[in-house]
Amino acid sequence: MLAIDETTITEAALAQMESTPDPRLKEIIAALVRHLHAFAREVDLTPEEWLNGIKFLTSVGQKCTEFRQEFILLSDTLGMSSLVNAMHDRRALEDGTKSSLLGPFYRQDSPTLPLGASIAGKGKQPDTVIYGSVVNTAGEGIPNASVEIWQPDDEGWYDLQKQDPSQMDLRGRFYTDSEGRFYLKSIAPTGYMIPMDGPVGDMIRAQRRHGYRPAHIHFVIGAPGYREVVTALYLSGDPHLDSDTVFGASESLVVSVNPHDDASPYPDLKSIRFDFQLAALAGEAESGRVGADPSQILQKAAH
Amino acid sequence: MLAIDETTITEAALAQMESTPDPRLKEIIAALVRHLHAFAREVDLTPEEWLNGIKFLTSVGQKCTEFRQEFILLSDTLGMSSLVNAMHDRRALEDGTKSSLLGPFYRQDSPTLPLGASIAGKGKQPDTVIYGSVVNTAGEGIPNASVEIWQPDDEGWYDLQKQDPSQMDLRGRFYTDSEGRFYLKSIAPTGYMIPMDGPVGDMIRAQRRHGYRPAHIHFVIGAPGYREVVTALYLSGDPHLDSDTVFGASESLVVSVNPHDDASPYPDLKSIRFDFQLAALAGEAESGRVGADPSQILQKAAH
């Protein structure tokens, strides 16, 4: 009989998982077991600390609802989502606009709106035009590309965080014109704290991190034949650009809010301009979406 | 501004966590971040695989109830609980009986029973005596030591898995006599499958593991001045002794069911005999309990 002890347990666990028929699943779980055990050995984890970890992970799972994905937030705050994004970008055949985090506030059922429409909800006067082009790596405009946008309001709240999270606001889907251009009206977002009322918030406080994300606007850009990019634009001057709690902000994605812009389709409004560059689709069918609609995740998770 | 990419993200995450005031928490999370990132890099984790991981962990958390702890089950099936146990035993000042898994079926409110009582529920005729001594490392009996016992029935089910999980059966707490002896009546348990109706069961099936635990009886043994030991006895001859799904079975904890035993306090019954050896208490106040009452965990997790 195998004597299982501190040194043999890892090999014993890997041996028992040898029967896994899917080679990729086998590779991933084997690597996970090795790294998880190496972590426990390195810190000489005690039963009490282990139990605290079990309780923490349980509470992260139990905090998830149709409108909230606390495990994505945990992954984001540990830098894991940002790493997965960066590796995804490296595997692309061509360089395009860098990915950024999808985050927990994406919804798949955003309304499709005509170019020039405002995504600011009723009562909010749009004061900013967001415009630019979707281009290929040769710089040529891509007609009819899909531009999904979502953002928090000028106090840092997304629609999903409001009293009635089923009411959509500050999000929409646009399609580029025949020259690849898009333009829409909105308000400039402010930075905000990640949701701090759950176990991830407890962790951030215990670490004395500020919990803020710099002001940003989310995008998913796609067109047939091109690699979908999930990204975000970050507003220059925000004090938390260098210390984003979820490690999403990146220099190539920083934009300015211009008080006056003669090139804008609405020169009377402030403007944010960015051209998104899409790489040709790689042969692989890998999905580019780091993160997803929380309600969809939970539906799938419940079988 | 820091350019966060595939190579710099780990240092960026660690730098942001530098402010953690508790040195042990800082050490543990820093090690976790390094090993988690190393895992993702080694397997070149894709966004789709990452999302499947998020969904899996979410469903593990959501499967937990007052009577079920699916995260402990996940830790058990990955060999993590067994590793934490083994490291805990190594830190003891003296060698005593080896630890084994607490598992998800422990309850703190077990009834205290007199020596010789049966823990087999109504309708079940006890046919086995479980007896032995609790001794120190010099082999001397420890009077009034606490012996908590719990086990599945002869079909492999614990009380917590039955129709009404609040009804207790096949568990109890005994105290040793003036010479350190304990004895009680029960039935011999059979091996059983871990709960397979949750996400951990899905994983075990995807890995083509059989899911069985060899037949065993759980114990928590404690006495003032001694190190509490959480352990289990495994019945010899069980076909899954070498392939325990949760890596708890260990050679030094295997016992035989003797059809006749003149030394037993009830020679007409089958017998299981084991002497538990407790090490003197180390100076450190570390808890020895790997695992805990699920209801207690969830109450704490919910604040």
Q: Residue B126 and residue B187: Cα distance in Å, rounded?
A: 5
User: How do the domains of chain A map onto residue ranges?
Assistant: 70-301
Contact state of B209 with A62 under an 8 Å Cβ cutoff? no
Contact state of A302 with B59 under an 8 Å Cβ cutoff? yes
Residue A303: pLDDT band (50, 70, 90) is: very low
Q: Is B193 at the interface with chain A, CB within 8 A?
A: no
Query: Global pTM?
Result: 0.89
Residues of B in contact with A79 (CB under 8 A): 9-10, 12-13, 33, 37
Q: Residue B80 and residue A146: Cα distance in Å, rounded?
A: 45
Residue B258: pLDDT band (50, 70, 90) is: very high
For B283, counting Cβ atoms within 10 Å of its Cβ (0-12 exposed, 13-18 middle, 19+ buried), the class is exposed
Residue A291: pLDDT band (50, 70, 90) is: low
Residues of B in contact with A3 (CB under 8 A): 250-251
pLDDT of residue B168: 86
Residue A163 has pLDDT above 80, yes or no: no
Q: Is A285 at the interface with chain B, CB within 8 A?
A: no
Q: Residue B62 and residue B73: Cα distance in Å, rounded?
A: 13
Question: What's the rounded mean pLDDT across residues B273-295?
Answer: 70
Question: What's the rounded mean pLDDT across residues B39-61?
Answer: 96
Residue B41: pLDDT band (50, 70, 90) is: very high
Residues of B in contact with A64 (CB under 8 A): 58, 61-62
The secondary structure of B151-166, three-state, reads CCCCCCCCHHHCCCCC
The complex scores an ipTM of 0.89
Contact state of B61 with A71 under an 8 Å Cβ cutoff? yes
Residue A22 makes CB contacts below 8 A (sequence gap 6+) with B206
Residue A155: pLDDT band (50, 70, 90) is: confident
State the greatest distance between any 2 C-alpha atoms of chain B, in Å, as a whole number: 80
CA distance B145 to chain A (A): 22
**CA proximity to A291, closest of B55, B38, B199:** B55
Q: What amino acid occupies position B224?
A: P
pLDDT of residue B128: 96
Contact state of A45 with B36 under an 8 Å Cβ cutoff? no
Q: Which CATH number fits domain A70-301: 3.40.50.2300, 3.40.50.300, 2.40.160.10, 2.60.130.10?
A: 2.60.130.10
Residue B164: pLDDT band (50, 70, 90) is: confident
Q: Is A209 at the interface with chain B, CB within 8 A?
A: yes
Question: What's the rounded mean pLDDT across residues B196-209?
Answer: 97
pLDDT of residue A249: 94
Q: Which of B29, B33, B207 sits opposite A20 (nearest CB)?
A: B207
pLDDT of residue B282: 65
Residue A167: pLDDT band (50, 70, 90) is: confident
**Average pLDDT score over chain A:** 91
Tens of pLDDT, residues A73-128 = 999 999 999 999 999 999 887 889 999 998 878 888 899 999 999 999 866 899 99
Residue B302: pLDDT band (50, 70, 90) is: very low
Contact state of A251 with B82 under an 8 Å Cβ cutoff? no
Identify the sign of the CA torsion B162, B165, B167, B170.
Answer: positive
Q: Residue A205 and residue B26: Cα distance in Å, rounded?
A: 12
- Please report, rounded to a whole number, the percentage of residues in chain A having pLDDT higher than 90: 77
Residue A283 has pLDDT above 70, yes or no: no
Contact state of A80 with B209 under an 8 Å Cβ cutoff? no
Contact state of B46 with A20 under an 8 Å Cβ cutoff? no
pLDDT of residue A1: 66
Which of residues A4 and A70 earns the better pLDDT score?
A70
Residue B301: pLDDT band (50, 70, 90) is: very low
pLDDT of residue A300: 45
Strand-strand pairing, B270-273 and B128-135: parallel
Q: Residue A24 and residue B122: Cα distance in Å, rounded?
A: 50
Q: Residue B75 and residue B247: Cα distance in Å, rounded?
A: 11
Residue B108 has pLDDT above 50, yes or no: yes
Q: Residue B140 and residue B144: Cα distance in Å, rounded?
A: 13
Neighbours of B165 (CB within 10 A): 17
Q: Is B60 at the interface with chain A, CB within 8 A?
A: yes
Question: What's the rounded mean pLDDT across residues B248-276?
Answer: 95
